[in-house]
Structure 1
Amino acid sequence: MNITTRLKMMSFMQYFIWGSWLVTLGSYMINTLHFTGSDVGLVYSSKGLAAIVMPSLVGIIADKWLRADRAYMICHLVCAVALCYAAHVNEPGLMFWVMLVNAMAFMPTIALSNTISYSCLEQAGLDTVSHFPPVRVYGTVGFIVAMWAISLMGVELSNVQLYIAAGASLVLALYSLTLPNIPVVKSKSAPTLASKLGLNAFVLFRQPRMAVFFLFAMLLGAVLQITNTFGSPFLHDFARNPEYADSFIVKYPSILLSVSQMSEVFFILTIPFFLKRFGIKTVMLMSMVAWMLRFGLFAFGDPSAVGFVLLMLSMIVYGCAFDFFNISGSVFVEQEVTPDIRASAQGLFMTMVNGVGAYVGSILSGMAVDYFSVDGVKDWQTIWLVFAAYALILAVVFFLCFNYRHAGKNNTLRTATH
C-alpha cells in the first residue's frame, strides 16, 4: 500500500472520530440527559479552551523530544479512554471536565496529522502542495460518513456515539504504529517558546487593520461554534410537533447537516477566484452575509415541503460561510505577514478562531438558548433570528472598520498599501 493511501486512511479516521459526536452530542445532552442550553455550551466550550494552548504545547514536545507519530498515538489513546468514560457521565460539570480532557488530547492531533502527512510525503519524495489536498479531503469524507453512520444507526440521542468515537480513536492509535517514523527536529537554532506559542505574532495587533481582522476572526469563530452546538438539537426538536415526528429530518438530522460539509468541498474550490477578483474584505463580508442566511433560513425552515427547501439552502450556504472566513482568512494572514512570523501568525489566527472564538461562542450561545426557552421549550425561530442579526451587525461593523483596498484581480492578494 503506497504512502498516500495510508495517509488517506489516517485522515479519514481522524475526522471520522470528530464527526461521530461533534454535531450530535448536543442533542444527546439536551434530549437524553436533559442538560440546559448553558450546560451544553459549557461542555462545548472545552474545545475552545483546549485549542488555545494544547496544539502549540504538544507541537513543542513533538518537535524536541517525542516523535510526532508517537505523540499522535498517545493523544488518541487518551481520547479513547476519555470518550469511553464520557459515555457513562450524566452530570454537566463532570461532562465538561471529561470532554476537556478529550479536547486537550484531540485538538493537537489535528495539527499532528498534518505534520505526519507532510513529513511522510516528503520522505516519499512527493510534492506536498499537490499531494496533501487529496489526502486532507478524505478527512471531510470521514466526517460525513460518521454523521451518516450515527444517524442511520439511530444513535444520535444515545451514548453509543461516544463509544463509536472511542473505538475509532483506539483503532487510529494502533494504526499510527504502522506509519513511518517522523524524526525529531534537531537544530542549534531551535525556535523559542514564545515563537512556538505564537506570542511574537502579537506585534500584529499594533497595526489597526490587522487588529480589526483578528478581532472579527474571533467573533466569526463564535458564530461557527453556535451552529456546531445547536444545529442538531434544533432539528431534533421538530419531533415535538406530531405533524413532523416521523419526518426524514427528525429521523436523520445528521444526514441533512452533512450537506453542509459537502458544500464546503465545493466552496473551497472557488476561494482562489473570489480572493483574486474581490479581495479579502469582500470575501469576508460574503461569509458574514452567508452566516446571516444560514441562521435566517434556519429560523423559517421546517420539515414541510417549503421548509425543507429553506433548510437545504441553509446547508448549502454553510460552505460559503465557513470557507470564506476560515480558509480565506488563513490565506490572507499568509500573504500579509513577513516570513519570520508567518507560522506564529497562523497559530494566532487559529487560536482566535478555534480557541477564544469557540469558547466565547459556546458560552454565550448556551446562555441565549436558555434565555429564549420556557419550561424547556425553545423558541428556535427567535433564537436563530437573534444569531442572524448578530451576523448582520458583524458585517456592517466590519465593512466600516476594516481598512482594506484590493489591488486588483491580476495582482497578488496583498493590499496596495500596508
Structure 2
Amino acid sequence: MSIKFRLTLMNFLQFFIWGSWLISLNVYLDKTLHFTGGQIGSIYATMGVASLFMPALLGIVADKWINTERVFGICHILGGILLYKASTETTFNSLYPIMLLNTMVYMPTIALNNTVSYEVLEQKNFNIVKDFPPIRVWGTVGFIVAMWMVDLAGFNNSALQLYISSAASFLLGIYAFTMPSCKPKKSGERKTFISSLGLDAFVLFKKRKMVVFFIFAMFLGAALQITNTFGGAFLTDFGSQKIYADSFAVKHPGILISISQVSETLFILAIPFFLQKFGIKKVMLMSIFAWVLRFGLFGIGDPGTGLPLLILSMIVYGMAFDFFNISGSLFVEKETDIKIRASAQGLFMVMTNGIGAYLGGVISGWVVDQFTSNEVKDWRSIWFSFAAYALVLGIIFPLVFKYKHMPSAKEIGKAEAIEMTPH
C-alpha cells in the first residue's frame, strides 16, 4: 500500500469524524433532546474554547516528548470513547462536559493531521506543496461522505450519528499507530507555549490596521459558527408545515448543506484570480457581504419555491468562508516581521476559531432564544438579525481598515497552495 494512499485514508477519516456530527448534531439536540438555542450554542462553542489552547499544548507535546503520530492516535482513541459516551447522555448538564472534552482532543488533531502528513511526505522525499493538496482534498470528501451517510441513514435527529463518529475515531486512532514514526524534534528552534498560542504576536496591536484586522477576524469567526450551529435545525423545522413536510430540504438537510463544502473547495481554486484582480482588502470585503447574502437568503428561502434561494446560500458560503480566511492569512504573512510570523498566524487562528467561534456559538444561541416562543422559532427574524450583523460589519470595515495592496506572483502562489479545513 503506497504511502500517499495511506495518508489519503488518514485525511479522509480525520474529517469523516467531524462531518458525522458537526452539521447534524444541532438537529438531534433540537428535535430529539429539546435543548434551548442557548444550550445548543454553548455545546458548539466548546470548539472555540478548545481551539484557544489545546492545539498549542499538544503541539508542544508532539514537538518535545511524544511521536506526533502517537499523540494523534491517542487523541482519536480518547475522542472515540467520549463520542460514545456522548451518545448515551440526554441532558445538557451531562452532555456539555463530555462534548467539551471531545472537542479538546479533536481540535488539536486538525493540525496534528497536517504535521504527520508533512513529516511522512518529507521522509519519503515527496514535494509537500505539490503532493499534499491532492491528499488533503480527500479530507473534504470524507466530511461530505459522512454528512451524506448520516443524512441518508436518517440519523440527523438520532444519537446514532455519534456512534458513527465514535467508530471512525477509534479506527483512525488505531490506524495512526501504524503510520511511519514522526519523532520529537531534537534540534532547531522550538516554539514555546506562548509562541504557539500567538501571544508573543500581541505586539502587533500597537498597529491600528492590525487591531482592526484582528477584531474583524473575531467577528467573522463568529459568523462562521452561526450556520454550523443552527443550519440543520432551521431546515428540519420546516417539517412542521404540512406543505414542506416531505420536501427534499426537510428529508435530507445534510445533503443540501453539503453543497456548502463543495462550494468551499471550488472557491479555493478561484482565490488566486480574485486576489490578483482586486487585492486583499476587496476580497475580504467580498467575504463579509457574502455572509450578508448567506444569512439573508436563509431568511427568505424555503424548501418549496424558495429552494433555489437556499441552494444559492449554500454556494455563497464558499466565498464567505474562504475569501476572508485565506486572504487574511496572506495579510498576516505580509504585514508581520518574520520573527513573529508563526505566532501571528497562531493569533489569527485564535481570534477566528477560538474567541470568534466561542462568541458565535453563545451569542447565536441567545439570539435564537429571543425569537423563540413556545418552542416555535421565528427563523426569518433570526436570519435577518444575523444578516444585519454582517451588513454592519461590511459597512464599517472599508471605513476603518486602511490598506492598499496588489499581490505579487509569489503571494498568488501561496494562495493556491493554502488548503483550508471544511466547516
- Normalising by structure 2, what TM-score? 0.95
CA contact (8 A) 1:84 1:162 kept: yes
**SS at the partner of 1:178?**
coil
Given that residues 276 and 412 in structure 1 are in contact (C-alpha distance below 8 angstroms), is that contact kept between their aligned partners in structure 2? no
1:65 maps to: 65
CA-CA distance at 1:194 after TM superposition: 2.3
More displaced stretch, 308-317 vs 87-96: 87-96
Residue 40 and residue 408 in structure 1: after superposition, are their counterparts in 2 closer, same or farther (change >3 A)? Answer: closer
Q: Does the 8 Å CA contact 1:16/1:146 hold for their aligned counterparts?
A: yes
Q: Distance in 2 between matches of 1:132 and 1:373?
A: 46
2:49 alignment partner in structure 1:
49
Match for residue 8 of structure 1? 8
For structure 1, list consecutive stretches of 5 or more residues without a partner in the other structure.
414-418
Contact 2:60 2:192 in 1 (8 A): no
CA contact (8 A) 2:275 2:407 kept: no
Alpha-carbon spacing, 1:151–1:411, altered in 2? closer, same or farther (3 Å): closer
- Aligned pair 1:385/2:395, yes or no? no
- Determine the structure 1 residue equivalent to 2:136: 136
Match of 1:90 in 2: 90
Shift of 1:373: 0.7
Question: Is 1:102 matched with 2:102?
Answer: yes
Which aligned pairs between 1:245-394 and structure 2 lie closer than 5 A? Answer: 245-304=245-304, 306-394=305-393
User: Could you say what secondary structure the match of 2:20 adopts?
Assistant: helix
- Amino acid paired to 1:77: I
* Deviation per residue, 1:315-351 (Å, 9 max, x gap): 0000000100122211221222222111111111111
Distance 1:187 1:201 in 2: 24
Partners of 1:190 and 1:136 in 2: how far apart?
26
DSSP 3-state at the match of 2:306: helix
Which AA in structure 1 matches 2:297? L
Cα 1:408/1:119, change in 2 over 3 Å: closer
Gaps of 5+ in 2: 413-423
Q: How many residue pairs were aligned?
A: 412
One-letter amino acid of the counterpart of residue 277, structure 1: K
1:258 positional shift? 0.1
The answer (yes or no) to whether the contact 1:278–1:409 under 8 Å persists in 2 is: no
- CA deviations over 1:125-173 (Å, ceiling 9, x no partner): 0111111111111110000000000000001000000010000000001
CA distance in 2, matches of 1:308, 1:298: 10
Match of 1:416 in 2: none
8 Å Cα contact 2:60/2:191 also seen in 1? no
Aligned residue for 2:184, secondary structure, equals coil
Residue-by-residue CA offset, 1:150-209 (whole Å, 9 max, x unaligned): 000001000000010000000001111211000110126533332233211111111110
- C-alpha separation between the residues in 2 aligned to 1:17 and 1:193? 27
**Using the alignment, how far apart are the partners of 1:278 and 1:246 within structure 2?**
44
Report what 1:37 is aligned to: 37
Q: Under a length normalisation based on structure 1, what TM-score does the superposition of the two structures give?
A: 0.96
Equivalent position SS for 2:187: coil
SS of corresponding position for 1:316: helix
